[in-house]
Chain A
Amino acid sequence: MRRVVITGLGAISPQGNDRESTWAGVCAGKSGAGPITQFEASTWPVKFACEVRDFKLSDDALLPQHHKYLNRPSEFGLAAAHEAMMDSGLCVKASGANGPIEKSIACDPELFGISIGAGIGAVSPKELASMLRSLAADGNYAELGRVVQEQTESRIFLRNHPGTLAYLLSARWNAQGPVTTVHTACASSGQSIGQAMLQIQRGEADVILAGGADSLAGELLLAGFCLLGALSRRNDDPKKASRPFDRDRDGFVASEGAAMLVLESRDRAVARGAKIYAEICGFGETESAFRITDLPPDGRGTVEAMQQAIAMAGLTPAEVGYVNAHGTSTEVNDRVECHAVQRVFGEERTDLCVSSTKSTTGHLISAAGALELMFCVLALRDQKVPPTINLENPISGCLFDFVPHHEKAFSREKPLRAALSNSIGFGGSNSAVLVKSHEDSQAEVGP
């Protein structure tokens, strides 16, 4: 079985439009929440979200003919992927006669894959309205297909399909190996990355660009989660709204963004002298088989996913120093997840750091697992873990360290060696991904 390492990272988030600004914001405990700016929301039950701001997609991130297929999450995904690819050194800028040009490091296209966790996608109400207004006002939609057919913009289906981003990435980076899109709600990108790791382990690919992209800040999806009652309604103080593991939590905060990781066979990365952030070595995926939105009280499914990841990595729970929890700030998730973490790591693990970065980023849904795994990787690099902000009255009965308010640094004597990212999805899918420090004197660790 081949070992797999992470050689590139990229992110777009409400904290910043690249990896390092995102990481700095999260570690500083900065809330990404604020009033919704993408549309006028003053009459909405929820008037705030964690939005990506001041974002502009670089032309370098996609093929020029593909602008017609873009939607908001795809733009985030392409930008994060571009950063990750440049960071990996698989693609570098070089000087050319007419300005900078890209040079790719030799990589067999047939052994280069894409694995993306993507959201459910939704047309914008403006697109929907333009179709509906052409129809009779009697609520008869029998001719809706005719209206779509007659619209001059014929790419509406592909632009809104969750699977299109993987195609755009495969086209941009000439990936001709396994290319796939996963949707298991909030577990999507944890699964997409875990499955990519398995594919490289089995030799089906040498390199896979893996991650997730999503946006819950658009009107129809945000409306859907408002209707479901899953979102915090702390409209008077949005920055205090995402409060995982706090007694006064009242729902999650909608967010958006993307995170991409370059996964590579360790032998290949070492041979080309790549910078290696960490080794990805554990993955668990389970189904809770309970209810569509609820979790079983005993944490079934979540427990087994974490146990599988730890076992696959050949570690014991005691060797894992940090869990980036799913921690959505909803009543049921946080209670059950705490119980599950206790079952896996033991009730007496007071030294185990368990933080939820959703307190600062909000919930990126299908992209959450990728972003949070990136935080685990950077925690190993910088030997510090990000905080859980707004944690004023922690859930009772948990002795582990929720890292409240401020980041926590690890000591040279007792370093952080392994970290686990936990994701729990609507529909019952769970994923857990484990990374550990890459110890190889021949390879540089971290940038």
Chain B
Amino acid sequence: MKMRRVAITGIGISTAVGDDLLTNISSWREGRTHFGAVAAASGLLGTAVKYAGECPEPPASRLPDRKVKKILTRKDVIGLVTALEAASDAGIRPGTQNFDPERFGMYVGAGSTQIKDLTPYFPLVRQCVQGGVFDSLKFGSEMMDLVNPMVVLQTLMNNTLCFAAIALDIRGVNSNFMDFNVSGLRAVGEAFRSVQTGRADLCLAGGVASPVEPFHVGTGVNSGYLARSAELSWSAAEILRPYDRERCGTVLSEGAAFLMLEDEGHAVSRGARILGYIDGYGAGSDGPVEFMHEESAPGLSGSVKRACREAGVDVEGKLFAPDLIIGHGNGVMRSDSVELNAYLSTIAPGTPLASIKAVTGELGEAAGVASCIAAVDALLQNSVPPTINFSGNFAADDPHAFSISPLAQACPSTRQALITQRSILGISCSLVISKS
């Protein structure tokens, strides 16, 4: 089979930093975080989490049809607006494309269970609890009058995909992945495969997350995954500390990030601007490891090897030598440790490594895609973004092999960047992006 070269022709991103590309890029380059006190509406009052990255409400004017706000949750509104932004950046707007819609695909990473999506049930559920017992008879007799009939449609995990497809007339290959915080990078990887192998000429791919809500926070605090920011003396900007010895957990953020991937020939023929290329993709899983108790990350090592091998990344000895890595680095003690150790067996010592999560927060399903965007910018600027809050001191179990800096690292020449993402349950994806 003839493999096609896959170009990146559009970018859209919305985070707490802002809902446009330039604002987000400048925050990464300059190392500015935008975490704030959690909004009361998020239902987190009294938790150990004080800070999070919450997006401003997207204006209804950015939606293709304001009526969709009745169906879509906040997460999906953010996802839809951002997906349309990426399409627009690629020069594709609703009703204007002159290519075959069946050759236009979309892959999305979206789907964490959110208790806030169930709020239409809350009043009736409360009424139906007597002495700790749920009265299903009362619930059954009253639900038709008291619960919003749209509730099940609002909770569909594939709503961003559905509404973006309608808005942009996307009729080709598609899927929606629910692999926790790897979902978005997997969506990009699968879109890459579809374009590369000729199943589509172009694909919109990305992820959306809105994890600043009780389910994620309650479990995250209990498991030690989240920083207990309400109990720390650090400022909001200092809490998330990827790879640092004093790291104490991650900070949740909401947002979305999308890329337009396109067959190079297709992009050239329609005069699209090419921002970079995807050269390789790999996926892996740790197998029988325990949540928050992992001792290694074989799935990450495997995904890195596959992506680098496919991309033809330079080899030094038996190790791959990409020009830089935008890593998973989420500031969770064990997670960062197994990540660094996974690189030790796959990546050449001295390779520049950065995590943008200290700036963006843990963007869940959108995280890996945001890292892709940071990688595109890093390649264009010949500069590795800073890993803010990294003090230069590693934890005792961490290898010291890679070049991590709280300041931007200038590189004389960059060609290929490796992007990695690893889920809370040990599922990993890696991608290699090259310069346009």
Interface contact A65-B290, CB-CB below 8 Å: yes
Residues in A with CB closer than 8 Å to B112 are 161
Interface contact A167-B165, CB-CB below 8 Å: no
Residues in B with CB closer than 8 Å to A179 are 179, 283-285, 299, 427
Count of chain A to chain B residue pairs whose CB atoms are closer than 8 Å in the complex: 312
Per-residue contact bits, chain B 201-233, to A (CB 8 Å; 1 contact, 0 not): 000000000000111111111110000000000
B-side interface residues, number (CB < 8 Å): 101
| Segment of B17-25, B150-158, B396-404 engaged in the interface with chain A | B150-158
Interface contact B427-A167, CB-CB below 8 Å: yes
Residues in A with CB closer than 8 Å to B134 are 125-126, 129, 219
CB distance from B19 to the nearest CB of A (A): 24
CB distance from B118 to the nearest CB of A (A): 7
Interface contact B218-A289, CB-CB below 8 Å: no
CB distance from A290 to the nearest CB of B (A): 7
CB distance from A38 to the nearest CB of B (A): 9
CB distance from B82 to the nearest CB of A (A): 18
Q: In the complex, which residues 120-168 of chain B have their Cβ closer than 8 Å to any Cβ of chain A?
A: 121-123, 125-126, 128-129, 132, 134, 136-141, 143-144, 147-153, 155-159, 161-163, 165-166, 168
Interface contact B174-A219, CB-CB below 8 Å: no
Q: Say whether B115 faces chain A, with CB atoms less than 8 Å apart.
A: yes
A-side interface residues, number (CB < 8 Å): 98
Q: In the complex, which residues 96-132 of chain B have their Cβ closer than 8 Å to any Cβ of chain A?
A: 101-102, 105-106, 111-113, 115, 118-119, 121-123, 125-126, 128-129, 132
Interface contact A145-B49, CB-CB below 8 Å: yes
Interface contact B165-A183, CB-CB below 8 Å: no
Q: Say whether A34 faces chain B, with CB atoms less than 8 Å apart.
A: no
Give Cα A225 to B427, complex, Å.
32
Interface contact B171-A184, CB-CB below 8 Å: no
The contact of A177 among B43, B162, B172, B283, by CB within 8 Å, is: B283
Give Cα A137 to B161, complex, Å.
37
Residues in A with CB closer than 8 Å to B177 are 180-183
Q: Known interface pairs A161-B180, A292-B156. Does A219 touch B44 (Cβ–Cβ under 8 Å)?
A: no
Interface contact A184-B159, CB-CB below 8 Å: no
Q: Say whether A110 faces chain B, with CB atoms less than 8 Å apart.
A: yes
Q: Say whether A423 faces chain B, with CB atoms less than 8 Å apart.
A: no
Residues in B with CB closer than 8 Å to A170 are 285-288, 426-427
Q: Known interface pairs A164-B425, A223-B121, A427-B159. Does A142 touch B40 (Cβ–Cβ under 8 Å)?
A: yes
Interface contact B123-A125, CB-CB below 8 Å: no
- In the complex, which residue of chain B has the Cβ closest to the Cβ of A167? B425
Task: Identify the interface centre among B49, B119, B143: most chain A CB within 10 Å of its CB.
Answer: B143
Q: Known interface pairs A120-B156, A180-B186. Does A427 touch B161 (Cβ–Cβ under 8 Å)?
A: yes
Interface contact B152-A227, CB-CB below 8 Å: yes
Residues in B with CB closer than 8 Å to A228 are 149-150, 152-153
Interface contact B285-A177, CB-CB below 8 Å: yes
Interface contact A287-B153, CB-CB below 8 Å: no
Q: Say whether B176 faces chain A, with CB atoms less than 8 Å apart.
A: yes
CB distance from B278 to the nearest CB of A (A): 15
Task: Identify the interface centre among A146, A195, A202: most chain B CB within 10 Å of its CB.
Answer: A146
Interface contact A175-B285, CB-CB below 8 Å: yes
| Segment of A152-160, A268-276, A373-381 engaged in the interface with chain B | A152-160
Residues of A within 8 A of B (CB): 1, 39-45, 63, 65, 109-110, 113-114, 118, 120-123, 125-126, 128-133, 137, 139, 141-149, 151, 154-158, 160-164, 166-167, 170-172, 174-185, 191, 195, 198, 202, 204, 219-221, 223-229, 285-293, 300-301, 304, 425-429
Question: 10 pairs across A/B with beta carbons < 8 Å?
Answer: A43-B137, A43-B140, A109-B287, A129-B132, A157-B113, A157-B219, A163-B111, A226-B144, A228-B150, A426-B153
Known: A128-B115, A151-B218, A304-B102. 13 other contacts (CB 8 A): A44-B141, A110-B302, A126-B134, A145-B44, A157-B220, A163-B180, A171-B288, A179-B284, A180-B186, A184-B158, A184-B175, A290-B166, A429-B158
3 nearest A-B pairs in the assembled complex, by CB-CB distance: A148-B218, A224-B152, A154-B222
